[in-house]
Copies of this chain bind each other. A is one copy, B any other.
Amino acid sequence: MKTIVFDILNNDNGSSQALAAAVQFAKENNNYKLKLFGDSTQIKDVQLPDNIEFVHSPNLLKKTENLRDVLRTNSSMLDAIKALSEPDHVAILSSGDSGSYLTMATLKIKRLNNISRPAFMPLIPKRKDGSFLLLDVGANLEVKANYLTEWAKLGSLFYSTMNNTQKPSVALMNIGTEDYKGLESHKEANLILKQNKNINYLGFIEPKDIFDKQKNIDVVVCDGYAGNMILKTMETSFLTMGRLIKEAILSTFVSKIGGLLIKKSIKKLGKKFDYRNVGAAYVIGLEKIVLKAHGGSDKKAFLGALNQIKIAIESNVIEKMKQELSEEANV
């Protein structure tokens, strides 16, 4: 039976929300096993279903300056990552520190063939429906051209498998759309990707193209430095704009009334951009499904992440990436 490994300890709000999500998911999916890593004293009042195995691993992760130290110190996250050495343990979920998680995953899980570096890859709501992939968003600050071209392949394969579509559109983020602009690594990657007939490559884009309805880009490739800045700026801009609008609406009596009338329509929009529906971020490029949930995840967010993992397992995304990447290498 396929097992999903779950570090329930490293969450900003304790283990209870993660545990509640695990119990519900296990009950609803008795063809899966869940292996939880956490503090057994925190769960003693909870009745676990048969397809949950609980491993007592009570040490919280400590963030350290030298990221490799996380491999030398006991933690539930490290124990969970180590459990993936079992062949039928196919996926992992944690909401702990991204940098540590990434380091452990990178050093403890086998990389896919012909992939130099794993990337951190969130799903972000598109302007209309669905989500697009953004990778890398912080695992690799400085990149070589081949990292970018490999991520373009990974993103394209992942997107087409998960969404059951052919040739998703892929673009490379740059400071301008002209071929001669940007860092050397990006100019080189751009030329290589233009030759790749397996990828529907659109060329360079700028941040303004991300939400362009016409272009409707499925996979946005960037170095981890730009990706990190873009992701965080997007989050803070949306949040700030939302707050400013709220303040403006509350500033007069008339607009307060107007605010009440638009509430329902705006709520729907808020739901679309709620991280709990958007879900988590993948560490992609490895032979296991590695998912990172938001540090402040609640039951709903964890349940969403577990269901994302389920879709990834059932669409055989890892096997398909393995196959395509080795086929391409043999051409």
Closest residue of chain B to A137 (Cβ to Cβ) is: B175
A residues contacting the other copy or chain, number (CB 8 A): 51
Interface residues of A in 194-233 (CB under 8 A from B): 206-208, 210-211, 225-226, 228-230, 232-233
Contact: B265 with A183, CB < 8 Å?
Answer: no
Closest residue of chain B to A227 (Cβ to Cβ) is: B229
Contact: A262 with B249, CB < 8 Å?
Answer: yes
When distances are taken between beta carbons in the complex, the residues of chain B under 8 Å from A249 are 262, 265-266
Taken residue by residue from 230 to 258, chain A's Cβ proximity to chain B (1 for < 8 Å, 0 otherwise) reads as 10111111101110110011011011011
Contact: B232 with A229, CB < 8 Å?
Answer: no
Contact: A265 with B241, CB < 8 Å?
Answer: no
Q: How far is the CA of A269 from the CA of B251 in the complex (A)?
A: 11
When distances are taken between beta carbons in the complex, the residues of chain B under 8 Å from A210 are 233, 236
CB contact between A262 and one of B226, B236, B241, B248 (< 8 Å): that residue: B248
Contact: A266 with B237, CB < 8 Å?
Answer: no
CB contact between A269 and one of B175, B248, B258 (< 8 Å): that residue: B248
Whether A141 touches B183, Cβ cut-off 8 Å, given contacts A208-B236, A229-B226, A255-B261, is yes
State the majority secondary structure of interface residues on A.
helix
Closest residue of chain B to A98 (Cβ to Cβ) is: B176
Q: How far is the CA of A238 from the CA of B235 in the complex (A)?
A: 11
Q: How far is the CA of A173 from the CA of B240 in the complex (A)?
A: 18
Q: How far is the CA of A233 from the CA of B206 in the complex (A)?
A: 9
CB contact between A254 and one of B228, B230, B264 (< 8 Å): that residue: B264
Taken residue by residue from 263 to 296, chain A's Cβ proximity to chain B (1 for < 8 Å, 0 otherwise) reads as 1111011000000000000000000000000000
Q: How far is the CA of A206 from the CA of B65 in the complex (A)?
A: 18
Contact: B262 with A260, CB < 8 Å?
Answer: no
| CB of A188, distance to nearest CB on chain B (Å) | 15
| Interface residues in chain A, defined as those with a beta carbon under 8 Å from any beta carbon in chain B | 65, 127, 138, 141-142, 173, 175, 178, 180, 182-183, 206-208, 210-211, 225-226, 228-230, 232-238, 240-242, 244-245, 248-249, 251-252, 254-255, 257-266, 268-269
